[in-house]
Structures are given as C-alpha cells and as structure tokens.
C-alpha cells in the first residue's frame, strides 16, 4: 500500500478531469507575466497541436537524419522487444500470469502457464487476451494497465477486473474477465473511462471510487466518494459508504483478509499526498471507524492477524509508554481493535538504523519479507512472530546486487525475487516461505558488453555538509582528464529510491560507446528512509538541488568529466529537477534531457493531478510558499539574455498526470528567445511518453543521439 509517484495509477492518485481538456483556471491571485502562453495548456487545442507538430517535425528531421539514429533505434528496439526477457508473473491457483510485449506483440499478450511449465526454459503459454487484436477489433490504442483479482475460497473461483487505457493514459476502463473462458463478460462489471480505483469485497461486490458527477471530485480532481456496487445493478445505484472533503486529495478502497477468511472493507482518506486517515468500513453499514494511528503511516497488510504499519513520523501511542521512530515497522492485533474500536498494544517489528531504510514489506504464507537499503545497497530479511516477539533473519543472496520482491501473496509459499546490479542482468529467484530455500529460476543473457567496466560508489558533501551518495559506472582504463562523456541521472522526490539496476539501453547506447553513467541518490528520495525525503519538502527543496549540483561538481573536480562533456537527465519530478538545473547551473552541463516535466511551479496546482502534490512542493496560494516557488520555477526563471545548454524536452499529449503544457511553455520561451532546443511530444504514451516498446525505442534513440552529439561530438560510435 505504499504511495509513491511510480504507483499513482494503481493506487489512489486518480484524476477524473477529461484528459483532452486542460484545467486552465488561473490561480486565485497573482498575475503572471507569461500568461500569453496559457493557450499551450489546451491539450488538444488546434493552435497548441500545430506548434507541437511543427516542433516534432523539426526535431525528428534533425535527430533521425543523424548517422547514429538508425543504429540506436535498432539497438534499443532489440533490447526492449527481445524475447530474451524474464517473463515476470503472479501466481493464482497454480497458474503463473504474465503480461508480455515484443516486436510482434506490440500492445502485448496477457497469458498464463502452469507453475511447472513456468520453471522450464520454454514455458507453454496460453493466451488470455491479445491486446493488438483487441485494439484492432475495437478501434482503440489499448494499453494493458493490470488486473485485480478476488479469490472466492468457497467456490475456488477467481473473479478478475482488467484495466485498459486508450493510448497509455492513467484514465482506464475496467472490464470483468472470465479467466476460465478467456473472455470478457458482457454482463459483468464494466466501468466508464476514468482515473478510478476499485477493490473486490466479495465475489459479487465492489468498492469503487470514480466520477459520480458534479461535486463528486476533490479539488485535486480525484474521487471523494466511495460506493458499494452490487453485481447485476447499474453503477448509478451503487450506495455511498464514505465521503471526504473536497480539500482532501482522494479517497480509495482497500481490503484486509483475516485468517478465518473474513474480508474487511477499508478506505484510505488521503488528507494530503503524504498524510492519510485510515477507516474501517463495517459490513453492517454502521459508521466508518477511524484507526488511531499517525497520519504519516502506511498499512502493509495482515500477518497472523497482526496489522503491520510503516511509520513516516515519530509516534508514541496514546496510553502507551513505548516511543516509535520514523521508519519503524510496527504492528498490533486487529481483532481487539475490531471489538473495542480502541488501540491495542503496539509492537516493534523492525527498526532500521541510520544508514538503512525499509524499501519493501510483503507478506507471504507464514512470514513477512523485507527488502532494506543499507547505503543504497539492498538486503532481504525474513521476519516472523514468535510468541509475543518478532524475530528476523537474513535471506542469503547470491552477491551484492539489488533484490526486489516481484511477487508474494498470503496464500502462496512461492515468492519471486528479482536480483540485479548495474552490470549484471536480472535473474529471477524462487523463495519457498516454508522451507526457506532460495533457488535460481531464470536469468537474462547480457544485453551489452561489460568488459572493462567498473562500478564505484562515492559520497560528496552537499552545501549544508550532508553526505550524498552516488554511483559511477565507467571504463577502468579511462584517463581522468575531464574528457569522458558522462550522463548524470537523479529523481529527488516523493520518497522514491533509486537503486542499482541493469539497463540494456543505457549499456548498449551509452556505456558501450565510451560514456560514463552516474546515478545520484539525492535527498527527496527514500534511500535513507522518510527523513531523507522530508529533508527536501516545500521550503527546504533547495537542498535537493544543492545535492545534485554537489554531485555534478564532484564529477568535474575528480576530472572524470567536465561541463563540456557532462549531461543530465530526469523525468516527471526529475524533469522539474532538470528545469531547475537549466536555470541554476547552466554552466555545469552541456546536455539536459527534460522528460515529462513539471516546469511552471506557479500554476502546476491547477493542471491535471498537480493539486495533489502541494504537500511535496508547497502551494502557490500560500504567500511564503509561493515566494519560494518563484525562486525555483523553471518557467519563471528563464532569462532570454542567459546562456543555456541546448535542452531536449520530451513529453506526451496523453500524459494525464503531468500536463504537457509544462514542457510546451518553457520550450516556447526558448523559441521566442531564438535559443536552440529540441522538442518531442508523443501523441500517445501517457506519463511514460511511450505507449509501447516500439515507441519507447524511438524516444530512447532520439535522446541518445542528442546526448551523443552534445557530449561526444560528431565522431562515429566507438
């Protein structure tokens, strides 16, 4: 139930504003000297799209004519559509379910195979849905956005909802699918297109938050009303079970299942992006019951009827003496709470030290599994409750790579781990939660040549003295004379951790050609837990930018590279980071890839999902916070007389999370000032700026042609 920017589409952060209609209401106060560009916020306005097409044509004509482009696109496509990929899956009833895309199946196949077959080198797959065929038949650019399944243990049947997005938007429709008959149910549950959230509370009942009409959305554009919807009745007859205020971010449903099979309906009232009120919704229709837990906390699930909770703030439970710390994993017995509606004794499950952070909490049959970061290096723990205490033990991993739990379920003893590092392609490990055996199941062949490459972790002091870690991958025989083309990547927000990971496209298109790659673990992320994130909130956000600048300066001081050969890249919140770096240190880089960015920080809260991020950035309607935002807003700090590196703006028309108007408007200022820039806006693709792997290969090739030109010059690839 962790709420991060990477999981907005699957959890509570849903906008019900039509994606083809911009929210262009001006702020309640404060005139903007750049209001003449408001027309660019009309997502599919004729004038705006005419400008987009002109810029796309100009950029594509230039970059695609480069002698490197065709090779880059082919190499990226080979990596992204290769059949030599691990088919990660979820287990349901002895079957492994997988979504698969390749060069032939561009939109993808949803398929399954038996567990025994899955363990072989050539599983025998059974196709459930061919999304290319479905899209052609229905005249839609369908993108599979996942499924949600309820296991009816009485009948041993699985009831499934499939989410479909037209063009990659966050907005989806949900259709009930019969996984035995392999067909959508004409009389089953079907929802209209919206950014919605639904959960099963029984085989014939859903909890759903959607756009119920005028007044049913929060100021952030998300549902504020949850209803109970019975099978066989129209959606209009669903009964409201909880409503929240328009000033809240959203309300979303979730369920907990007791050991005796009882399903408990719940709602998360997201008061802000990072604070939540948790409600139990009694089945008898009585009033919702509030859990007496801190607003900065996340429910992780039930284990032995103990409710596990991650804390993002210090907490001393009322009437109890034990003080818990930010980052702790705690629990309490849920049955006493259900009976008394008061808080039972809270127990400490796990406490990370100052160099650690809990990255994942999952529940498998018979145990709780954790993935923790220790100085941004992953470890995994098995946790069990023995009597009245909690005990943990390490799960031995095959090296010092990064583990990630890709599947676990309370009903299943099989757990799937992914394991990789910068130079080691992913491998799938199977862990048995009963026997504790960890065995290799599948592994990937290399996607690029790692000969002579080394990985090193460094730390550098930020402006306030904080030590900031970063990883550098480069050839071991380079000369430290400032000439190595170097790409620096970071994110720095929403408690999202960036960890060592294998990228075939970075390796093939950049490292193989002599470039160095740097991953910076700046504040704003979750690499050292909630405190690392909270250090960069709102008025403290300059710390994040100081961290990034410190890493860039360290790379130059070490003579790995120089400003002439140093480029930077970031997307979404990382796109904001790129925009800030354009203004604050244009002298430090020679290439800036600005992907699906936020750039107008005085209007971001009026555009699409922007209002929900006020807890991260601050509000332009609060004078003190607006004054700070004015100092960092890339759109408002652009100066026509300033010297800038040539930027490359990348966005998507159908990004219904971060408005494409952000990228359009800053690029337009470059155009008006006769400054060079590149701009590519994918008409489809959603927040990833690519609806499928073929489009992603094209976007990647464009970016690396640009980076190679800017940082390596016009010479042929090595």
**pLDDT bucket at 608, cuts 50 / 70 / 90:** confident
Instruction: Give the pairing type, strands 566-571 and 486-489.
Output: parallel
Looking up tokens 């100052």 gives 354
Torsion-angle region of 94 (φ positive above 0: left; ψ -120 to 50: alpha; else: beta):
left
Question: Residues 105-152: pLDDT tens digits?
Answer: 989 999 999 999 999 999 999 999 999 999 999 999 999 999 999 999
Mean pLDDT of the chain: 91
Does the pLDDT of residue 4 top 50, yes or no?
no
**Is 276 buried (19+), middle (13-18) or exposed (0-12) by CB count in 10 A?**
buried
**Could you tell me if 494 and 616 are in contact, meaning their C-beta atoms sit under 8 angstroms apart?**
yes
Summarize pLDDT for 287-334 with one digit per residue, the tens. Answer: 999 999 999 999 999 999 999 999 999 999 999 999 999 999 999 999
Q: Which of 20-24, 97-101, 455-459 has the lowest mean pLDDT?
A: 20-24
Q: Is the pLDDT of residue 651 over 90?
A: yes
Ordered DSSP codes for 634-699: HHHH--TTS----EEEEEETT-SSS-THHHHHHHHHHHHTT---EEEEESS-GGGT-SSHHHHHHH
In angstroms, rounded to a whole number, what is the distance separating the alpha carbons of residues 551 and 557?
Answer: 10
The residue annotated as part of the active site, out of 270, 433, 572, 688, is: 572
pLDDT at 34: 63
Residue 3 has pLDDT above 70, yes or no: no
Task: Render pLDDT for 668-679 as a digit per residue (tens, 0 to 9).
Answer: 999 999 999 999
Say what the pLDDT of residue 322 is: 93
Q: Is the pLDDT of residue 336 over 80?
A: yes
Q: Which residue has the higher pLDDT, 689 or 403?
A: 403
Question: 18 Cβ partners below 8 Å, 6+ apart?
Answer: none
Per-residue model confidence (pLDDT) at position 28: 35
Tell me the average pLDDT across 463-491.
97
10 Å CB burial of residue 236 (0-12, 13-18, 19+) is exposed
Q: In the chain, count of helices (H) and strands (E)?
A: 14, 36
For the chain, how far is it from start to end, CA to CA, in angstroms?
46
pLDDT 10s digits, 25-71: 333 334 456 678 999 999 889 999 999 999 999 999 999 999 999 99
- Which of 220, 474, 687, 688 is flagged as catalytic? 687
Contact 525, 496 (CB under 8 A): yes
Tokens of 107: 């939109």
Verify whether residue 687 is a known catalytic residue.
yes
**pLDDT digit string (tens) for 703-715?**
999 999 999 976 4
Ranges assigned E (strand) in 522-604: 566-571, 591-595
H/E stretch holding 394 reads: strand 389-394
User: How much of the chain, in percent, has pLDDT values that exceed 70?
Assistant: 93
| DSSP β-ladder status, 591-595 and 566-571 | parallel
pLDDT above 60 for 13: no
pLDDT-wise least confident of 6-10, 227-231, 582-586, 694-698: 6-10
pLDDT tens across 178-201, in order? Answer: 999 999 999 999 999 998 999 999
Indicate whether this model's pTM tops 0.85.
Answer: no
The set of residues, in sequence order, having a beta carbon less than 8 Å from that of 588 and lying 6+ positions away, is 549, 552, 553, 556, 563, 566, 581
- Split at pLDDT 50, 70, 90, the class of 102 is confident
pLDDT tens per residue across span 548-577: 999 999 999 999 999 999 999 999 999 999
* Confidence band, pLDDT 50/70/90 cuts, at residue 222: confident
Active site residue 572: yes
Query: Cα dihedral angle (70, 76, 78, 79), rounded to 10 degrees?
Result: 170
Q: Which residues pair with 264 in a beta bridge?
A: 256
Give the pLDDT confidence score for residue 72 in this predicted structure: 97
- Dump the DSSP string for 103-166: SSSSS-EEEEEEHHHHTSSS---EEEEEHHHHHHHHTS-EEEEEEEEEEETTTTEEEEEEEEEE
Please give the average per-residue pLDDT across 345-361, as a whole number. 95
Position 21 pLDDT exceeds 50: no
Q: Among 4-13, 336-345, 368-377, which stretch is predicted with the lowest mean pLDDT?
A: 4-13
């Amino acid at each position: 139930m962790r709420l991060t920017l990477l999981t907005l589409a699957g959890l509570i952060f849903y906008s019900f504003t039509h994606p083809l209609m911009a929210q262009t209401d001006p702020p309640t106060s404060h005139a903007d000297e750049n209001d003449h560009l408001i027309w660019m916020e009309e997502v599919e306005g004729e004038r705006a799209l005419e400008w987009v097409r002109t810029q796309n044509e100009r950029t594509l004509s230039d970059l695609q004519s480069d002698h490197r482009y065709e090779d880059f696109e082919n190499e990226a496509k080979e990596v992204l559509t290769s059949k030599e990929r691990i088919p990660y899956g979820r287990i349901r009833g002895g079957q492994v379910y997988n979504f698969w895309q390749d060069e032939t199946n561009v939109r993808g196949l949803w398929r399954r195979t038996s567990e025994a077959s899955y363990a072989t080198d050539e599983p025998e797959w059974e196709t459930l849905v061919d999304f290319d065929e479905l899209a052609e038949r229905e005249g839609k650019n369908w993108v599979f956005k996942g499924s949600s399944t309820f296991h009816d243990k009485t009948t041993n049947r699985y009831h499934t909802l499939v989410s479909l997005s037209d063009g990659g938007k966050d907005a989806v429709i949900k259709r009930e699918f019969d996984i035995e008959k392999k067909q959508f149910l004409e009389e089953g549950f079907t929802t209209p297109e919206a950014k919605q959230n639904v959960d099963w509370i029984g085989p014939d009942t859903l909890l759903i938050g959607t756009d119920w009409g005028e007044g049913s959305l929060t100021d952030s554009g998300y549902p504020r009303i949850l209803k109970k919807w019975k099978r066989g009745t129209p959606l209009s007859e669903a009964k409201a079970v909880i409503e929240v205020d328009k000033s809240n971010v959203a309300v979303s449903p979730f369920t907990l299942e007791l050991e005796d099979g009882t399903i408990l309906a719940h709602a998360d009232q997201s008061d802000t992006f990072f604070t939540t009120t948790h409600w139990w919704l009694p089945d008898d229709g009585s009033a919702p019951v509030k859990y007496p837990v801190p607003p900065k906390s996340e429910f992780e699930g039930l284990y032995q009827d103990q409710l596990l909770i991650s804390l993002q703030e210090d907490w001393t439970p009322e009437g109890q003496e034990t003080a818990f710390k930010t980052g702790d994993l705690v629990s309490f017995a849920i049955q006493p709470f259900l009976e008394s509606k008061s808080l039972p004794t809270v127990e400490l499950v796990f406490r990370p030290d100052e160099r650690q952070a809990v990255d994942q909490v999952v529940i498998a049959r018979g145990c709780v599994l954790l993935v923790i970061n220790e100085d941004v290096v992953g470890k995994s723990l098995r946790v069990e409750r023995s009597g009245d205490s909690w005990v943990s033990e390490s799960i031995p991993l095959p090296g010092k790579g990064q583990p990630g739990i890709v599947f676990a379920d309370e009903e299943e003893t099989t757990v799937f781990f992914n394991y990789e590092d910068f130079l080691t392609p992913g491998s799938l490990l199977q862990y048995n939660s009963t026997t504790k055996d960890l065995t290799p199941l599948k592994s990937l062949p290399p996607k690029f040549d790692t000969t002579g490459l080394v990985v090193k972790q460094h730390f550098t002091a930020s402006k306030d003295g904080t030590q900031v870690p970063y990883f550098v991958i480069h050839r071991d025989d380079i000369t430290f004379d400032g000439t190595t083309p170097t790409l620096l990547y970071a994110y720095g927000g929403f408690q999202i951790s960036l960890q060592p990971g294998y990228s075939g496209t970075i390796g093939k298109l950049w490292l193989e050609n002599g470039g160095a790659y740097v991953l910076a673990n700046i504040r704003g992320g979750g690499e050292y837990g909630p405190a690392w994130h909270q250090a960069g909130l709102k008025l403290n956000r300059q710390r994040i930018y100081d961290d990034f600048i410190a890493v860039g300066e360290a790379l130059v001081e070490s003579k790995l590279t120089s400003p002439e050969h140093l480029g930077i890249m970031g997307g979404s919140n990382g796109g904001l980071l790129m925009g800030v770096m354009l203004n604050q240190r244009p002298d430090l880089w020679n290439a800036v890839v600005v992907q699906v960015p936020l750039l107008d920080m005085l209007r971001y809260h009026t555009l699409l999902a922007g209002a929900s991020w006020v807890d991260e950035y601050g509000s332009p309607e609060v004078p003190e916070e607006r004054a700070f935002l004015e100092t960092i807003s890339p759109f408002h700090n652009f100066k026509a007389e300033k010297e800038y590196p040539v930027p490359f703006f990348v966005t998507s028309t159908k990004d219904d999370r971060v408005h494409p108007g952000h990228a359009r408007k800053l690029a337009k200022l470059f155009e008006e000032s006769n400054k060079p820039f590149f701009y590519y806006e994918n008409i489809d693709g959603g927040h990833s700026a690519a609806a499928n792997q073929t489009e992603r290969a094209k976007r990647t090739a464009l970016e690396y042609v640009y980076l190679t030109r800017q940082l390596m010059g016009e010479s042929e690839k090595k």
